Amino acid sequence: MTLRTEEFHADRMSECLKLMEGRHNFRAFTSRLGYIKHIKIPDGTLIKMERTDDEFFRNIYGIEVNECTCPVYEDEFVRENFTFYQVRINGKGFLHNQIRRMVGAAISVSEGRICLDDVEAMMKNPDVGWNSRAFAAPAHGLYLER
């Protein structure tokens, strides 16, 4: 994901992401599409069902934030004026938009749009919902690695 921001504090972003490690209810971090699951029945038909409260819990085994080189091209101007970070989230099964919202919330904390308490509130009480001052990180640059 590529974002350009003036007020960015990588240490705050990392601290926010560390809060998300472990088993948590990520309902506040999914879009409405994440509230529905698709189940294939024996005849091959897909049916849609609402997720139960327990199905919003996800295990995040680890999150790494590392400074890296520009993933697209090497240029002196870019190297001297921009810092790139790679965020790796290790888990099994994610909700729709969960990763984009996790990273977006962490960037929002790093920029001062929201604070760590706001993120903790979304995780401890998912009925609070998504904080509208935060944003979902863009999908470009996001990929699944096995």
Is the pTM value of this prediction over 0.85? yes
Say which amino acid occupies 78.
V
Identify the pLDDT of residue 71: 72
Exposure of 27 in the CB half-sphere (CA atoms within 13 A): 17
Identify the pLDDT of residue 4: 58
CA 78 vs CA 38, 44, 66, 84, 113: distances in Å? 43, 50, 17, 10, 26
Question: For residues 52 and 5, what is the distance between their CA atoms, to the nearest angstrom?
Answer: 38
List of the chain residues with pLDDT < 50: 1-2
Phi, psi (degrees; rounded to nearest 5) at 95: -85, 165
Q: Which two tokens stand for residue 24?
A: 């948590």
Return the residue matching tokens 């993120």.
119
Question: For residues 9 and 111, what is the distance between their CA atoms, to the nearest angstrom?
Answer: 7
Identify the pLDDT of residue 80: 82
